[in-house]
Amino acid sequence: MTNADWLNRSLKAVWHPCTQMKYHDSGELPLIPVASGAGAWLYDFEGRRYLDAIGSWWVNLFGHASPRINAAVKDQLDRLEHVILAGFTHAPVVELSERLSTLTGGELGHCFYASDGSAAVEIALKMSHHYWRNHGQPGKQEFLCLAGSYHGETLGALGVSDIGLYKEAYGALMHHAIAVPSPDARQAEVGETAADVARRAAAGLEAMLAARHESVAALIVEPLVQGAGGMVMYDPEYLRRARALCDRYRVHLIADEIMVGFGRTGTLFAHEQAGIRPDLLCLSKGITGGYLPLSVVLSTDDLYGAFYDDSYTRAFLHSHSYTGNTLACRAALATLDIFAEDEVLARNRRFAERFTDLLVPLARHPRARHFRRRGMIWAVDIDSADPDFRLRFFREALQRELLLRPLGTTLYFMPPYILDDDEAVLLAERAVAALDAALA
């Protein structure tokens, strides 16, 4: 079978996500059939290769076909593939929950599982509202989110997201959250620091809480980097202030670390950089190293305690068929093993310095604005009025063996944590070449 065979069969039978299928049919947008993956590379059916510089939509941490994760999943497959998690339990889910709890200093000690990031967000929103109900404050049913936030695409998650395109199409179906100012560091005026912007945004949050706290259940944030909204980066000072304000006004702080968790921002969890803990922590994406769908919401003793009762109606009412899937938990355990055995965070710090140096030509490109980095995420805004810039760049990058998908005119890199020096050089050099070609 050739690339063309798979491509044609896929276009007939597969409805691809977030895709205008007609662009594929007209040949405007290439569809790449992938036969195999190894390390940072994806291979098609005709021997062409692509460097996966966005970790296959932000999930892959240690490359494709990672020998250690493969071995763990294969071992688990011969023991137990899956079991119902209501009334039953299994070793991988217990061990994973214990280890995640330890990694939050024991402060977020109760793990509730689902399969996708959006489901984790739904769970956190339901838990927060139900908590206040159980505490005799059923009126707390509104949510605050940051301007430009993204928390997933199911209806509850879309309701706390602030992305125009989705609001337009599905707004009629949503329970809309109230957007408060984003601490986007790019808003700094001359002489201002990112921390100054954070303090200004926190003042906006305070005004909103002062006015509405009696009807607000929770504030949900993407700590340090707002991903799908354009890799918007901000100072940890905002999280410190948000934590204090949520405490003062009796509102939960939900940290959606679905993208930024597992080392992406330089620490295992992004909120650590602010020296705070959220009440609810949502994790997914990198949790299984990019192998299997798994998400989890971690909560405090206080939150958990509000549901612990003689009555079933006070229990948290939520379940998915594949809750706590055994294979996925085992992949997650293998992922955590790699973090510990390879001192991944320290290696990433060294890599990030080197890669940032390699990106100097991109940062200094005449059309580049606001080059920025947080941990293992690099982003730059491209000054282009071309509505097709995104598509043009995507195509030029593919021709240079790179998988890079800009968000609008924001070009970003979210590579797996295993690039060697040659791969880093290749990525940095060809990204600039693709940019020049896309702008030409």
Ligand X SMILES: *Cc1c(COP(=O)(O)O)cnc(C)c1O
Is 323 among the residues that bind ligand X (CB under 6 A)?
no
Write down the least CB distance from residue 232 to ligand X, Å.
11
Q: Does 335 bind ligand X (CB under 6 A)?
A: no
Give the contacts of 254 (CB within 8 A, at least 6 positions apart).
Answer: 121, 124, 125, 128, 218, 219, 220, 221, 278, 279, 280, 281, 282
Kindly tell me which residue out of 50, 131, 150, 262 binds ligand X, with binding defined by CB under 6 A. Answer: 150
Q: Work out how close the CB of 134 gets to ligand X at its nearest, in angstroms, rounded to a whole number.
A: 26
What's the min distance (Å) between Cβ of 224 and ligand X? 11
Candidate list 53, 72, 96, 121; residue touching ligand X; CB under 6 A? 121
- The answer on whether 150 is annotated among ligand-binding residues is yes
Minimum gap (Å) between residue 262 Cβ and ligand X = 12
Find the Cα–Cα–Cα–Cα dihedral 128, 134, 138, 144, rounded to 10°: -10
Q: Give the per-residue contact string, 248-267, with ligand X (x = CB under 6 A; - = no).
A: --------x-xx--------
**Distance between CA atoms of residues 417 and 40, nearest Å:** 9
| Nearest-10 Cα torsion for 386, 387, 389, 395 | -130
Give the count of beta carbons closer than 10 Å to the beta carbon of residue 207. 12
122 part of the interface to ligand X, by CB under 6 A: no
Residue 14 to residue 25: CA distance in whole angstroms? 12
131 is in an annotated binding site: no
Query: What's the rounded Cα separation, in Å, for the pair 36 and 47?
Result: 10
284 is an interface residue for ligand X by CB under 6 A:
yes
Judged by CB under 6 A, does residue 239 bind ligand X? no
**Would you say 288 or 384 has its CB closer to ligand X?**
288
> Per the annotation, does 320 bind a ligand?
yes
Q: Which is nearer to ligand X, 228 or 377 (CB)?
A: 228
Closest CB 169 distance from ligand X, rounded Å: 17
How far is it, in rounded angstroms, from Cα 427 to Cα 147?
32
Residue 395 to residue 404: CA distance in whole angstroms: 9
Q: Which of 37, 60, 73, 116 is in the footprint of ligand X by CB under 6 A?
A: 116
Binding mask 59-78 for ligand X (x = CB under 6 A): --------------------
For ligand X, give the closer residue by CB, 155 or 360.
Answer: 155
Q: Which is nearer to ligand X, 123 or 368 (CB)?
A: 123
User: CA nearest 403: which of 53, 27, 69, 146?
Assistant: 53
State yes or no: 167 annotated in a binding site.
Answer: no
291 assigned ligand-binding residue: no
In the sheet where 36-38 sits, what is the strand order?
Answer: 36-38, 41-43, 49-52, 402-403
**In sequence order, what are the beta bridge partners of 299?**
110, 280
State the Cα–Cα distance between residues 384 and 390, nearest whole angstrom. 10
Task: Identify whether the C-beta of residue 184 lies closer than 8 Å to the C-beta of residue 232.
Answer: yes
Check whether 182 is labelled as a binding-site residue: no
Complex with ligand X: residue 225 or 344, whichever CB lies closer: 225
Question: Of these, 37, 63, 148, 152, which contacts ligand X (CB under 6 A)?
Answer: 152
Min dist. Cβ of residue 72 to ligand X (A) = 21
Q: Is 148 in the site for ligand X (CB under 6 A)?
A: no
Is 49 annotated as belonging to a binding site?
A: no
First to last CA, the chain: 36
Q: 92 vs 227, which CB is nearer to ligand X?
A: 227
Please give the biggest Cα pair distance in the chain.
Answer: 68
Instruction: Tell whether residue 272 is a contact of ligand X (CB under 6 A).
Output: no
Would you say 170 is a known binding-site residue? no
CB 274 within 8 A of CB 260: no
405 labelled ligand-binding: yes
In order, the DSSP letters of 308-328 are -SS-GGGS-----TTTT-HHH
280 near ligand X (CB under 6 A): no
- Known binding-site residues for pyridoxal 5'-phosphate equal 117-118, 256, 320-321
Residues within the interface to ligand X (CB under 6 A) = 116-118, 121, 150-152, 222, 227-228, 256, 258-259, 284
